[in-house]
Structures are given as C-alpha cells and as structure tokens.
Chain A
Amino acid sequence: MPEVDLAIIGAGPAGMAAAAAAAGGGARVLILDEQPRAGGQIYRNLGAGDDARAYLGPDYFAGRALIAALDGAGIRAEFGATVWRVEPGGRVVWSQGGKSHMATARHVLLAGGAQERPTPFPGWTLPGVMPAGAAQILMKTSGLLPRDAVLAGCGPLLYLIAAQLIEAGAPPRALVETQTPAAMLGAMRHLPGAFAAFPMLFKGVRLIARIVAAGVARHTGASGFNASPTGDGGIVFSFRTGRRAHQLQTPLLLTHQGVVPSTHISRAAGVAHEWNAAQQAFQPKTDDWGATDVNGIHVAGDGAGIGGAEAAQAAGRLAAFDILYRLGRWSADARNQRAAADRAALRRAWAIRPFLDCAYAPAPEILAPEGDTIVCRCEEITAAQIRQSYAEGAIGPRQVKTATRAGMGHCQGRMCDLTTRGILASCGAAPAAPRARSPIKPVTLGELAALAAHQETSS
C-alpha cells in the first residue's frame, strides 16, 4: 500500500508548484530536497527570511509565495534529503542525516532542476575559478560578494549577476563574453517569435544597460580561455578577441556557459532521453503533461529541458493536474480546463528560448576541449587522454570510462559526461544513449547495510 499519492523530488519552482497543486486537489504529497530548505537554486535560502539583500532583485523575492504554500495541508516536506534511488513502482530511497529512508508513492515527479554546464579550459580546476552560479549561491546563502571578480563565458545569468554585484556595491572587474556578433545576428531571426516574452527581453536589455552605465569593461567574441595562478593565490586570466590577446588579474574568475538538465535521476529511473541540439544537452522524453515512458514517473521543470523558473512553475502544475487525473481525483475535462492558464504561461516562457539558445550557444572550445585541459575533475583525466583512448578503440563514453576512469569519480560523471561526449563527437564517434545507475549519489556501505537490516526485520 503506497504511503503517499505523490512523491516529488526537488523543491524548486517546479516541485513547489506541483506540491501545492496536487495537495490542493486532495493528494497526499511527500516532497524531498537535498538542501536545508525549499527554493531550489533560483530561490535558494529565500525561506530564511533575510531581507537585507535587496540587491538580489525582485525576481528572487518573487519565490516567497511558492515557499509559503509548502506549509499547506497534505504536504510532508523533508529537507537535507538526498534521493539516491527511484524505482519503477514508486519506491523512493533517500539519505538524510547519515541514514537511508524509503517511501512508496503511487506517482513520482522528478523536479531536480539543472546544473551549470561544465566549462573546461586550461586552469578551470584552480582555487579561484568557480561557476558564476556558484558565486550567486554564496550571495544568496551567505551574503558573500565576489571581490574584483571577472565574469567570463556567455548567457543571461552573467548579466544578472553583474547587475546584482553592481547593485551590492561590488562591481565585477570585467565581463568577458564568448558569444560572437555572428551568433547574435543569427539569433535575430528568432526575435519575432520571442515577442510573447517581451518583458523578459526588456529585462535583459535593462541589465546590459546597467552594466554599461556602471563602466564595467566588456569584451565580446572572446576565445582561448586560460587561467594560471599568481604567486599570491590570484588568477591570471588570458583570452583573445579577434587577433588581440588580453590578460586580466583577479582573485576570482567566474565562468558560465548556460545550464543543462540534471538527468542522473531520470536516467537511473529508466526514463528514455533525447538529445536537444539547440540546448546541446540530453533531456528526458516527456509528453505535454511531463509524463515519461515509465509508468508513474513524470518530470517537470529545468530537469526536463531548460526553460527557466516561470516555465518550471507552470510545468510543475501541469504535471500535478495530470497526476490528479490519473489518481482518479479529477476528470480529463477538469484537468484540461485547469491547464489552460499554465499552458499559456508555458508558451510565453518558452517563446524566448530559441533566441537565447542561439545567441548564447556554448563556446565550441568548451564543448570539445583539447590538450592538457582537464575534462574529468574527479579522476584528473585530460582531453588528450580521452582523444587518445578514442584513437585506441574506445568508441563511446562507456569505453572511455573503462579505459581512462573519466566519469568514475565521486560526481559520477556530472562534471565530465557532456564534455567526453563532445570530444567523441568531434572525433567522429556515433552518439551513445545516456546512462546512470543508482545509487546516484555516494552512500556508505554502512548506510546500505542498515537499510537492508531494517527491511529484513520489518518484512
């Protein structure tokens, strides 16, 4: 007998919106998140009630209502809960406080969100090089402000963080962007389609104007990223624009090349995935409601393809409506009628993606690096080693893993899988289906043994 109607994994915009909608329809909901409180990365730490950080902007504080709604009836929320296994049939296993726990649900919604795309270049493993989103997490959770930072890479998040730093009185030293004028020009053909997302476009233009007005040095069309350490722990960041070589010194180099769906959990659950060429990432195959090919498993939010927080909320609610229908609580008509507003919101939010995906496509040198650039951070495997293993007959990511150990470390390939595939593709290898197996996060043998002992005594 399932203990809950719906288990939601991830308490970001998609998961929180789904929890409120499902509980509102009378479902018993369990929502699990790895972090200490709800919000996901976008609304990280917002629930802590710290109003002193107005510089984070109104979009951040807009998450309040979603977080408050988790206190509603019918929702059990567990935080600090790392889900490491989801089984077809609805059993969910998570680690919390050094112990593993299980629950069975009639439906499971995966709402694990996104991670930043790994940005390999020479020196990206040095202390003093971080993803820009990681620095923003530190701004949200701890009030830490990057000191004289250089922002480098591409994507709207760089503009937002630069503007937040300016607002907070700690402007970045420079903004170095990899997108080329040609890419921007190519993206213009998507602008008419993006008209429905005009407020979002306008926000972006205002952010850029703010950065320019603050006098932050800006370079575009940059390539040839390289970071090396100075004697006092700083970073020397070199890059080229056209034929011109540049060098900047900074305590903190913050990189970004967009975000990609976190798919380890959907892969390990046996869900079919597809390659999204526009976003250069894998995503689970879902229907209009977020349902997958595995009975009882839905996926919503950025984990099903990058669409941003507003799209994630709408998709989370649509999945909840479909689950209420499948639970027999709602008729198909009721589901379809309730869905109209969120379908419209989803269309509006998606309208800007073709433009963004094209204008801020990841830099080719990041997708398929060469030489001594480390690809697998855990096992310290370089691009040259991966290319060498391909030359010696490792034709896919699994063979490369066996040959080099790339992808065999603690992070289970989260930081290298896309890059390994990018390198193999650049060598002419055929694409291979993505895989993952539980436990999808490291669990101690002691924890597994305790879980098995508990099962034996209770069965």
Chain B
Amino acid sequence: MSEVLLECREIVKVFPGVRALDGVGLRLTAGSVHALLGENGAGKSTLIKVLTGVHPPDAGHLTWRGEQVHLRTPLEATRTGIGVVHQERNLIPGFSVAENITLQNPPSRHGLVDRQAMNAPALRCLEELGLDLDPHRLVRELSVAQQQLVEIAKALHTQSEVLLLDEPTASLSPQEAENLFQVVRRLTARNTCVVFVSHKLEEVFAISDTVTVLRDGRSVLESAPLADHTHDDIVNLMVGRAHTAAKMLPRTPEPTSVPVLALDGICTARGHQDVSLAVRPGEIVGLYGLVGAGRSELVKAVLGLDRVTGGEIRVDGTPARIASPRQALHEFGIGYLTENRKEEGVFLEQPIHRNITVTVWKKLARALGVVSSAEERSVAQNLVERLGIRASGLDQNAGELSGGNQQKVSLAKWLAADTRLLIVDEPTVGVDVRTKHVFHELLWELARTGLPILLISSDLTEVITLADRVLVMADHRIRGEVGNDHHYERMSGRIIRLIHDRAPSAVSAQQDAK
C-alpha cells in the first residue's frame, strides 16, 4: 500500500566542534505517521534542517520517490513537497490568515497580489484541516495553537506530501493537542506522511506508526514499526548509551550542613509555583526537566533578572534579596554558567583573557580603576592551564575556539571569581562526547573540593552521573525529588515516571476543579 516518499541514507552533518549527524537513515512512507525520537542534542533538529534544505548535508543521499535530490534551500524543499512546522512560530503577525497561508505562492493579477483570490485557496486548506477560521483575521490575534494550525494549512497550500512537525505539542493544552492529532489523522488519510517529533512518549505511541530513534547523531532504530516496541524499549534506545564506568573519587556531602543556597516556596512572575530546593556545600543537586520546564527562568529570577513574587531565598541561612547578577556575584558569590553560550556566555569577539577575567576586574582594580594587564593575564593563564583550554594564546578571540573550549572559557570566568556556589545550566549541550566527560570530571572535582553546584540539565545521563539528588521540574513546578543511586536504569525510570505522571494528574486536577 505504502509508497516510499522520502528516504535518506548515511546522512552526515558536521558543525564546528560537533558531529551533529553521523550516518543517519530515515524512510518515510505515504499515509503514515513517523515518530522521530531522541534526547536533546541527539540530532533531531539538525536532521529536520537537513531534510528541509536549511543545512546541506556533508555526506549521504536523499531520495524523493526513488530519485536522488539535492535540497539546497528551504524553497527547494518546499517545491519538492516537504513542509515543516517548526517549534517556534514562523508566521507574519501583521498579515491575515489567508495572506500567511498563500505567502509562498500568492495569487496575483497583473503582477499585483490579488487579495480577493487568496481567500478561496486559504479556505480550502482550512477546510481540509477541519478548521473554522476567518481568513481575514490577523495572525497575531490567534492563539498559539491556532497559529500552529495555520502553519499546517500553509504547508498544505504548497502541496506538502511530507510534513515535519517539530515538537508540535510543546506549548499546547491537552485539548488543543487532541485537535492537532485529529488533523494529523486527516492528513494521513489523504496520503501525506507526517513526521512527528516529540518528547512526550504517550503521544508518540498514540498516533505514530513507525519510529526512528536518534542517539548522539546516529540512528539507533531506523524506520521500524512502533508496534514491535514497548515504551521501555524506546526509552532504553533513546538514553541507553554505553556507560563508561566513571572512575571518579567518591564525594561525601554532609546532609546536615547549612545550605549555601536555599529556595523556600518561591513563586515568580514567570509562573513558578512553590519551588523549594537547597544546595549544601560539596553537593551537586540536579535539576532535571524537559526544555521549557522553566528551569533557566527560575535561576534568572533568583538572580534578579525577573520578578520573584513570593517565597524566600536564603544564602548561608540568612534571607537574601538579590537584585542583579552583579549583586549575586559580588555580594553572595553565586555564579551562573548560562545554557546559552553564544548569546549570554562568552564574548565571541573578545580575547580569551578578557572573557575569563571579566568577573575579577573589580578585585584586580587599583587606584583609578587601573587593572594590571600582567595580573590579568596570569589569572587567565592559570585557568587556561587548569581547565585545559586549547587555544593558540590568551589573545585569541573566544569565538575562534571550538564549542567545548568556549564552554570552558565560560566556566573559567566563574572559577576566577572564586564563587561559593555555581549554577550550571546545560553545561554540555552541543559539546562532543569526549569534552562532555572532561566536563563531568571537572564538575565532580569542583564539588569534591567543597563547591556546591546546582546542575540544570535535560540530559538524563549527565544528571545521573553527577548529581547527589535529582529534582524534577515540569511546568514551572518541582514534581519530586529522587535520591541518586547512580544506577542508570532504575534512576531514569523513576525520573521519567515523575515527569510523565504529571499529565493524568493535571487532567484529574482540572476535572476536580469543575
């Protein structure tokens, strides 16, 4: 019955410092829902970008209905029949629904866009999806879920036969998600292939026919029927990487000592409710959650970048009001290694020594605010050696380093400042496996010397390798805490259960409210 639409073999894509895709295969058949699964950083987004012509692959073949194709631009991909709805919205807010749907091929008369003629095709696309939307409405007046459906309608207008949905349900309510699944079923009924990328396994099992699992840029399960696999099989495939036994020296955090940082019932303007946690000297506390769970936002609020609306922050047992990252650093000794290395972590076009010493200029400054260049360089040189940063010299711009080394520079800045608490946010995203290990050892050693670390991560292995306790966050709340026994299977099961238990309980809470 099923015709193979798009097939790719041995796709390789290399970015500076990372092998994002390393021999990935995928086969998409008409009229099916194909799930694309993998942890963060496994290469899903990169694969989508290769399939949609954003990134040309460095090696490998793409075939469309048996013929080899080269997709160089997103427009070529669209013309071939591959549509995509990205995680973030890509509509023009000031344009109407009809204008957005027909954007890539607007009906025209005498070279001018014909607004009247837009409505008919737009309505046809909306109808096919079973949507009742006024094509004249401006997109910015629509809800997020509606906008997403408009994007799907847009893909229909360009006659997409393969439709890629990247985390479509991430920002939808259960009801909206159900609507979306109905649309997906309609699409498959008219012989479209829908590729479904999601972290929510329940949804995947509910609507998908076949599945591909990526791990570390490779496809560990390739276009297999989903019915042959259980929930646990898939989780194991996603996360079950060969565990190199970490030969790290044991740490013994004292559970009774006064926490260096304690949050007590924190609520924030971003929607965090009743978040409590404590980090003690020499302890690594993992804060695990999926992207969008509100972990980085929590830290930013604690650092004074966003409003804390309730609860208490205690540093060394005394209540503290932190107004800015500056105060957090200079008064409370809290360092925050951001997840967003390129935008918030390093100064790409500044030399390494400035990147590292930025936090200590205040200490180094003498009369008139003079900072001795020699002192600055010696601080930087020490850290470059200690962390093994590979650079041609201290004057090299940080942007010229590989991702892992940039991340080390970003960390070095906080070690230079000699902080009393380190908050580390997704330290190894976009960093290759080897550097990842180096980083883990580094963090472990830091904690062993007594530095408390709050480790934010959506990488299960990382959390289980490093943390003493794991707090699980979802939807801006702490869902529970698991003491880490470093046994991977047991731990991952418990943690994932904490996250996935949430859906039914949230639904029942809603029903109770009614």
A-B complex is real: no
Q: Contact residues of A with B, CB < 8 Å?
A: none
